Amino acid sequence: MSGATVVDAVGPGAAEVAVVSGLRTPVTGRSRALSSVPAHHLAGRVLAAVAKSAGRAPQAVVLGNCTGEGGNLGRVAALDAGFGESCVGWGVDAQCGSGLVAVMQGADQVTRSGAAVAAGGAESPSTAPIRLVDGAPIRQARFAPEGFADPDMTTAADDLAAVRGITRVRQEAFALRSHRLAREHSDLRRRESLPWPGAEGSPLLDDGPRRLSPGMLARFRPMVGSPGATVTPATAARIADGAAAVMLVPADQAPGRHLVIQGQTLVGGDPALPGLAAAPAVRAALAQAGAVVADLAALEVVEAYASQALATLDDLGLTDGAQEVDPRVNAAGGALALGHPWGASGTMVLVRLLHRLLESPPGALGVAACAVAGGMGAAVLVERR
């Protein structure tokens, strides 16, 4: 990654931007409880909730999404949320980094205009249209042009596991950790989730976390048919529906406890091994604040695949190279347990970080990060105030 290009979204002397509220919808598997809810309504509900929590409506909405029907999701969701005709909006497609890049753009807008901005992401694979090329459906969009590697994401995760020597045993242990922590910290999951009515008036909850055992995971077959493949359905995040959003305001207008963005980066690297780009993004965001990994109180990384998350954590020195993971990392589980609503997942880890750090002392630092298809990585560094 020595040739990575770093895009810094926070310049020296820029006005501080505060994250004052953040929520997400429940996360449910494709074709399950949220299957009839389109992306703009998933987003509209959560946008209205973060505005109510912040005590103010935004003047702009920025939303990430990568499989929707097109159009301007940010504007449609702003109207759906009831923000009125004067609230502008736009969309971001940076694949599974979309939600975090939307927050970066939202922070830039706050810095330039002084306005309140709501930013986040939404994904509804259940209602997304089928995409065709030459009349045939495609599994994924193009992430790189001819002349560059453009692997299927599961193939890329398998390749990364092979290159880094990340065994199936390690991947399965990490998946077990994600499910166990998600079940143990259902209180945190409830705090960060927007109440959503379910069947017969009961609240809709995340439907992913399971009580698993090593023996159960060992029975899964690899998803890729090549010899030596190690990624299975248990170590790949399931496709899911969901949305998340945060409210961003100038820090001098932030009431009560909040987070302040101290660094935010988008970096580019090898499209053949996209899972490697999150670690340099984290380091670049830390460098903007003169901080290092040891200074962090919390880190939340999107668990698209266990191999990808472990490669990131290995590079950051947050594992023992085997099955032990630093307790500061994804302390209430992650996408391997909940699911991966692609365009929303980057915001979801930031929402999780917000609710974790609000229980920490002032000055605590945290990072939200994700690897991005096509060989990019995104990270946002925040400080508890």
Per-residue tokens: 168 = 């199936």
Domain ranges of the chain: 5-125+237-384
- Distances from the Cα of 253 to the Cαs of 10, 158, 260, in angstroms? 19, 46, 12
Q: Tokens 């994700």 identify what position?
A: 370
How is the chain split among helix, strand and coil, in percent rounded to 5?
A: 35, 25, 40
Quick one: which of 351, 348, 325, 350 has its CA closest to 335?
A: 348
Q: Which residues are catalytic?
A: 96, 340
Q: What is 162-205 written as a DSSP string?
A: HHHT--HHHHHHHHHHHHHHHHHTHHHHHHHBPP-B-GGGPBP-
In sequence order, the β-bridge partners of residue 197 are 203
% of the chain residues with pLDDT over 70:
96
User: What single letter denotes the amino acid at residue 9?
Assistant: A
91, pLDDT greater than 70: yes
Stretch 363-377: mean pLDDT: 97
- Residue of higher predicted confidence among 217 and 70: 217
Give this prediction's pTM.
Answer: 0.95
The pLDDT tens digits for 1-57 are: 434 444 454 544 568 999 999 999 999 999 999 999 999 999 999 999 999 999 999
The class that CATH gives domain 5-125+237-384 is: alpha beta
Q: Is 167 left (phi over 0), alpha (psi -120 to 50) or beta?
A: beta
% of the chain residues with pLDDT over 90:
85
Reduced to 3 states (helix: H, G, I; strand: E, B; else coil), residue 174 is helix
pLDDT of residue 3: 45
Per-residue tokens: 304 = 């698209």
Stretch 258-268: mean pLDDT: 98
pLDDT of residue 4: 47
pLDDT band at 308 (very low <50, low <70, confident <90, very high): very high
Is the distance from CB of 301 to CB of 349 less than 8 angstroms?
yes
The whole-chain average pLDDT of the chain stands at 94
Stretch 344-364: mean pLDDT: 98
* Dist CA 30 CA 124 (whole Å): 8
pLDDT of residue 288: 98
Measured over the CA atoms of residue 302, residue 305, residue 307 and residue 308, the dihedral's sign is: negative
